[in-house]
Amino acid sequence: MRKQPFISVIATAGLIAITTAAQAVSFKADDQYTAVFNGNVLSATGSKTYGRGVLKADEVKACVALANQVNELNRDVQSQKATIHGSAVSQNEENAALKKMNADLATQKASISERTKALAAEKSTLDMDKKDAVDAFNARSSELEKDKEKLSADIKEFNARAEKWNAAHGDSGKSDVSTFNDKVTRLDKLLDQFDDMCGSKDYYADDYAAAKAALKQ
């Protein structure tokens, strides 16, 4: 009895889109932001002289307040750093793995599609009286069917992972990292402002003490 060649159309299962990778954390692991007065501490032995490069009493108070902002925001950022950074790294690694899996599946689908077309063309000219040719055709068709079944299973696995990723790392995850990076940007600007206004300026010790007391520090 002659073997009848078989061939079926490639499955058209789709791939679920995955969200864009989480934003990278811009804060370096070893960065520390601290406002430090690097100027000379002056002692008043009589009337004070506020020359160039010497902070006046109100300027000292403004600088102490600014330093407090820098140091408080730095503590906040430091407390979030490890958690946010670790989470972002993990998210980006999983996202990269999903994108690679997506690309691999697309390549497999394209290959199976081409093989399906080739077998369809071969079937139209297959000589049914040639047993060896029919057997070879059926063997290739059987192999193609197995590959399609595997592709279908792989797509199902990918879609499950993609759904899980999208649920866990959608806009909320990106928002957390964005908020963190916004804090770091603000911290950079505050520290630059402090360094420009206060960092290397001289100041009188009693003005500094009065500013600290006024700000309850």
Write down the domain spans for the chain: 41-214
- In whole angstroms, how far apart are CA 182 and each of 77, 89, 122, 139, 185? 10, 18, 61, 60, 5
Q: What is the pLDDT of residues 78-108, one digit of tens each?
A: 888 777 777 777 777 888 888 888 888 888 8
- At residue 61, the pLDDT reads 92
Q: In this predicted structure, what is the pLDDT of residue 62?
A: 93
Query: What angle separates helix 57-124 from helix 205-214, to the nearest 10 degrees?
Result: 60
Q: Which amino acid is at 209?
A: A
Which amino acid is it at 142? S
Q: Which residues pair with 54 in a beta bridge?
A: 202
- Kindly give, in sequence order, each residue whose CB lies less than 8 Å from that of residue 49, ignoring residues fewer than 6 positions away: none
Q: Which residue from 183, 167, 190, 166 is spatially nearest to 65, judged by alpha carbons?
A: 190
State the pLDDT at residue 21.
46
Token pair of 61 as six digits: 């108070």
Instruction: Please tell me the predicted confidence (pLDDT) of residue 2.
Output: 47
Model confidence pLDDT, tens digit, residues 111-151: 988 998 888 888 888 888 888 888 888 898 889 989 988 88
What CA–CA distance (Å, rounded) separates 200 from 53?
A: 8
Q: Which two tokens stand for residue 121?
A: 């063309």
Encode pLDDT of 174-209 as tens digits: 667 778 888 888 888 998 899 889 888 999 999 989
| Tokens encoding 164 | 């899980």
Distances in Å between the alpha carbon of 147 and those of 69, 142, 152, 153? 62, 9, 9, 10
Please give the DSSP secondary-structure letter assigned to residue 10: P
- Cα separation, 164 vs 173, whole angstroms: 13
Encode pLDDT of 17-75 as tens digits: 655 544 444 444 345 677 888 888 888 777 888 888 899 999 999 999 999 998 888 88
